[in-house]
Amino acid sequence: MDAPPKAIVGPSTFVDDRLGAGTFLKRNLRKIFPDHWSFLLGEIALYSFVILLLTGTFLTFWFKPSMGEVTYTGTYAPLYGVKMSEAYQSALHISFDVRGGLLIRQIHHWAALLFVGGMMAHALRIFFTGAYRKPREINWLIGIILLTLALLEGLTGYSLPDDLLSGAGLRITEGVMLSIPVIGTYLAFFLFGGEYPGHDVISRFYTIHILLIPGILLALITAHMIIMWVQKHTQMAGKGRTEHNVVGAPFYPAFMAKSGAFFLFTFAVIALLGTFAQINPIWLFGPYNPANISAASQPDWYMGFLEGALRIMPSWEINLFDHTIPLSVLIPALVPLGLVMTGMALYPFIEQWVTGDRSEHHIAERPRNNPHRTAIGISAITFYGILWLLGANDVISANFKIDLYTTTWIGRFAIFIGPAIAYFIAYRMCIGLQRKDAEVLSHGVESGVIKRMPNGQYIEVHTPAAEDIAEHIRGKQEIPVLTGAPDGEGIPPKSARTALGRLRTRMSEAYGTDRVPLGNGHAHDEEHEEEHAAVGAGDRKQLH
Amino acid sequence: MTEHNENPESRVPTRVIGTPPTDGPIVDNDPIHVPADVPGVVPQDPVKVRKAERLVAFLFLITFLAGVAFIASYVIFQVGTIDKTAASNYALGGSLAVALLSLAVGITVWVRQIMPKYNLVQERHSMASDEDTREYVKETFLQGADESGFVKHRLLRRTLLLAAAPLGLAPLFLLKDLGPLPGTSLRHTVWGEPTKNGKPRRLVVEGTGQPIRAADFNSPGGILSVVPQGYEEDLDALAKATLILLKFRPEELKSGTNLNWTHDGIVAYSKICTHVGCPAALYEQTTHHILCPCHQSTFDAADGAKVVFGPAARPLPQLPIGIDEEGYLVAKSDFKVPVGPSFWERGDAEAQVRENA
């Protein structure tokens, strides 16, 4: 094409004359985006959010957020004539009497599950590659707020249909609110408009679910994207990639088209799930009644860890001066969530404090190259995972024929032991993988070619690693370490003189010391000397 | 797609890290034909492009057909019964998914096999602005602060803060009418409310509303879910007043159960779990255990519903029951302690009851 078509030139000129959009496009049309599969995890969350907005709007056209009592006269025969809230009736109406209503309802629910799942996977990718480091701490914090809001958004969403399952969730929410010291009772009365269940909570949750939280989410997601755009994406280490450049494909046309395709993939998968994988069949649960419950009631998956925490907690309660602190509710409701979220929020700053590293980072670290961080992350995943599993301990007990109380007791110990074991294993795996990297660089890779030597000995020929792989490995960054060593006159540096300072120095050494430096990975290792000789003699390694 | 092969000529996508390259050592395989016009933009092989174009066109055609099928399904498949809704759901969802999927695959093939391979490099700049800019901003800020008089005029500054304070608090006051204050409402249930005829309130079976004649509830091990007469459909009342009614042989009951509050081995406990308020609905006859399905708090029904396992900290409160002149079970009074989950103002109500007894 020699010139853009008139249909484009006309409007673009109009816009540029008035907004000067050309300057923006000049800078950004060919903005470079680095490529790696793990960079797409956040996009899953983003696109799920778009799908949630679209399908959610559709649902609002029919949903009636009212707890007023009506008698069901819709087409779902088993509930004909049953008294229920208008909210539940309209949810049934969407499911059975609106064409495509069931599909959109199920797509909405699946998209919500994927939204939170995508966010968590994305957050883990950021964590394990150190992509939260300077200058990206602000975006990391925004991400944590987004995740917290998404959990709330999910809770307010699955409470809306007012079926028996969603009512059980609300009841637990109320019980947890009541447990908060001093203000808990008031909070619960203000939220529910009086005593539980009252007549207000569905309409209030509705406003929160379709207006308040989505509005904040939209604003924060926009900020998240703009900051990502301005700071430019991190990239994996590799040939030609430095802290001062970005290597990849241009926004227009390649990245744009790829992103569009990925949105469609996400939508297609959610549509498939919404079509073929039934989710939240509210018509089977019946209308909410606080006197009833069905066995094996479970919240949506992302709330499972809170459920598990409630289940394994021993029955502790403090009664003092006519007041009650129900620890058996308060601790599981606040501590795990608080630990994970606060830990995530503080991690970039704690790490900066420990390493003393104030420089910008744009190359994503490989998880193995920061073994303590990776071990902490795996430890946290284990903590979360154990609680999540125990949120279904009754189902586990029924399916695997384990005594119910045994699962609880296992959980009570596992929640402390599990993360510690996970930390150790993850740390050792990182060190092992680093050794493997060092070996690939110093010894090359197995070629699959076996050679017979004149003396009858068999050896396997080794070849140097492919250049791209070698470059990727050599991209390992050193973790800065604070020095606490005394200077020439035996005086330790100022920062290391206090008890806190000494602790900081020790932590810094433990965190940052490179146990497996590249290049001379095995130089100190006596048993490998022979190998070195063999490689040195002709790039070969003896076959063990 | 992975970071290992941004070097377009050496793309060997299936190779795993650490395994040897299939086409000889990579070191000898430096980029051979650096494109003359734009570095980092490598056009695709025209033969492959033609093949890909046909594939992409075919996929777009499928999307077109599936899109038409979606609209047709909306018209053809009506809802109204469960089977019809299911058919409509499959037709709409299936066609939508196929349309989206083949469009997605089509665009992906387009990007990967028709658009050139890119390996472009862009410079990154430090996020911080340079020293001159910072200095300029600092001075401008100070100048503005001086010009505004905010620093100099103390009275201005203080009265402005004073003016802002009540306005900032105002929204909090607006929220007050979200709900009534709790008062003592959590301490009472409708079992303590007087009835219209002044007689004690009857226990009725949940669902049917039938009153229960003590003589008819006579099989040991029996269990009923019970609600207060007159409040059968009042969810606010049921959220606190629902009971489980159990029949024991006299010798089965232990000291935890208040025998004065039973009638002929019939005991009534609150069904609302003392943990977070789920209905403790499961009962195991042989062990007399009441189990809450939400978090598995377990109560011994034969021993005052005391906690034998799980996170609940207190027994299920027992309701004093008796019979009226017609032999129907009635509540003799309200619960002596608050039912349901613990709350800050609750205190150790059980201990107070023991002291008063």
Contact B124 A232 (CB under 8 A): yes
Is B112's pLDDT higher than 90? yes
Where is A70: in which H helix or E strand? strand A69-71
Is A520's pLDDT higher than 50? no
How near does any CA of chain A get to the CA of B275, in Å? 7
Res. B27 pLDDT band, cuts 50 70 90? very low
| Cα–Cα nearest to B314, from B289, B339, B286 | B339
**A235 within 8 A of B3, measured Cβ to Cβ:** yes
- Over residues B253-279, the mean pLDDT reads 89
Whole-Å CA distances, B285 to B222, B257, B281: 8, 17, 13
Structural domain tally of chain B? 2
Query: Are residues B120 and B63 part of one domain?
Result: yes
Name the domain boundary from B160, B178, B196.
B178
How near does any CA of chain A get to the CA of B40, in Å? 9
Contact A295 B293 (CB under 8 A): yes
Query: Are residues B198 and B150 part of one domain?
Result: no
* Predicted ipTM of the assembly: 0.85
Domain presence at residue B12? no
Query: Are residues B202 and B173 part of one domain?
Result: no
Query: Are residues B155 and B35 part of one domain?
Result: yes
Query: Are residues B148 and B34 part of one domain?
Result: yes
Which residues of chain A are within 8 Å of residue B295 when distances are taken between CB atoms? 307, 310-311
Is A534's pLDDT higher than 70? no
B314/B307 Cα distance (integer angstroms): 6
SS3 content of chain A, % helix, strand, coil (to 5): 65, 10, 30
Contact A232 B346 (CB under 8 A): no
Query: Are residues B296 and B341 part of one domain?
Result: yes
Contact A245 B81 (CB under 8 A): no
User: Across chain A, what does the average pLDDT equal?
Assistant: 89
Domain presence at residue B81? yes
Range of the structural domain that residue B320 is part of: 185-356
Query: Are residues B208 and B173 part of one domain?
Result: no
Query: Are residues B98 and B172 part of one domain?
Result: yes
User: Which range (A433-437, B12-16, B74-78, B130-134) has the least confidence?
Assistant: B12-16
Residue of A nearest to B99 (CA): A268
Domain presence at residue B9? no
Interface probe with B: pick from A191, A305, A319, A325, most Cβ of B within 10 Å: A319
Where is B331: in which H helix or E strand? strand B329-331
- CATH number of the domain bearing residue B204: 2.102.10.10
Identify the three-state secondary structure at position A150.
helix
> What is the per-residue pLDDT across A110-161, written as a single tens digit (0 to 9) for each?
999 999 999 999 999 999 999 999 999 999 999 999 999 999 999 999 999 9
Domain presence at residue B5? no
CA gyration radius, chain B: 38
Res. A84 pLDDT band, cuts 50 70 90? very high
Query: Are residues B170 and B82 part of one domain?
Result: yes
Which residues of chain A are within 8 Å of residue B174 when distances are taken between CB atoms? none
Tokens of A469: 């792989």
B279/B122 Cα distance (integer angstroms): 62
Tokens of A23: 């300057």
Helices B46-76 and B82-109 cross at an angle (nearest 10°) of 160
Contact A295 B295 (CB under 8 A): no
Identity of residue A126:
I
Query: Are residues B193 and B311 part of one domain?
Result: yes
Angle at B29 between CA A129 and CA A521, to 5 degrees: 45
Contact A311 B344 (CB under 8 A): no
Is A300's pLDDT higher than 80? yes
CA gyration radius, chain A: 29
This prediction's pTM: 0.88
Where is A302: in which H helix or E strand? none
Name the domain boundary from B133, B152, B178.
B178
Which residues of chain B are within 8 Å of residue A191 when distances are taken between CB atoms? 178-179
Contact B295 A258 (CB under 8 A): no
Domain presence at residue B114? yes
Query: Are residues B266 and B308 part of one domain?
Result: yes
Name the domain boundary from B178, B201, B221.
B178
How near does any CA of chain A get to the CA of B72, in Å? 12
Q: How many CB atoms are closer than 10 A to CB A319? A: 18
Res. B250 pLDDT band, cuts 50 70 90? confident
A517/A437 Cα distance (integer angstroms): 10
Longest dimension (CA), chain B: 106
How near does any CA of chain B get to the CA of A479, in Å? 20
Query: Are residues B351 and B260 part of one domain?
Result: yes
How near does any CA of chain A get to the CA of B240, in Å? 8
Tokens of A505: 């120095």
pLDDT in the model for residue A469: 87
Is B85's pLDDT higher than 80? yes
Domain presence at residue B11? no
- Phi first, then psi, for residue B290 (nearest 5°) are -100, 130
B355/B352 Cα distance (integer angstroms): 5
Residue of B nearest to A237 (CA): B3
What's A62's DSSP letter? T
pLDDT in the model for residue B284: 86
Whole-Å CA distances, A433 to A215, A460, A514, B16, B161: 44, 22, 13, 15, 59
> What is the per-residue pLDDT across B162-189, written as a single tens digit (0 to 9) for each?
999 898 888 888 888 898 998 888 888 9
Whole-Å CA distances, A431 to A127, A374, A505: 18, 11, 22
pLDDT in the model for residue A136: 94
Domain presence at residue B7? no
Is A317's pLDDT higher than 90? no
> What is the per-residue pLDDT across A444-478, written as a single tens digit (0 to 9) for each?
888 888 889 899 898 888 888 888 888 889 888 88
pLDDT in the model for residue B17: 53
| Cα–Cα nearest to A214, from A274, A152, A303 | A152
